[in-house]
Amino acid sequence: MPFKIVRNDITRVKADVIVNTANPNPICVSGTDLAIYEAAGKEKLLAERANIGKIARGDIAVTGAYNLKAKYIIHTVGTVWTDGLHHEFEILKHFMESLLC
């Protein structure tokens, strides 16, 4: 199945899925994460994320996109790269495998 990478305001992209670099806890604080929540409908999206709970590094959670043009949002917690000696490769591999399942 083909896919396309688009450089645009993520809250305005018409797509099956957008990926959000999320906070591990079901909160939104600033930046792109906050913009996505506000555009999608903050209360509904926060409620769905609260039902999911905490997301570990390398894991994903899928929610509806509500008022966005996308159908779904994949929430993932980014890996903090230190020096490659703190399981960064394993976490990234787990993330990629989670996306493909």
Query: In this predicted model, what pLDDT tens digit does every residue of 73-86 receive, in sequence order?
Result: 999 987 777 888 88
Residues marked active site are found at 33
Asked, for residue 18, whether it belongs to a domain, the answer is yes
Asked, for residue 32, whether it belongs to a domain, the answer is yes
Query: Domain span at residue 44?
Result: 10-100
Q: Letter for the amino acid at 61?
A: A
Output the pLDDT for position 27: 93
The answer to whether residue 3 scores a pLDDT higher than 80 is no
Output the pLDDT for position 93: 84
Cα dihedral 11/17/21/23 (nearest 10): 90
Residue for token digits 């890996």? 79
pTM score, two decimals?
0.84
pLDDT, one tens digit per residue, over 24-71 is 999 988 999 999 999 999 999 999 999 999 999 888 999 999 999 999
Asked, for residue 85, whether it belongs to a domain, the answer is yes
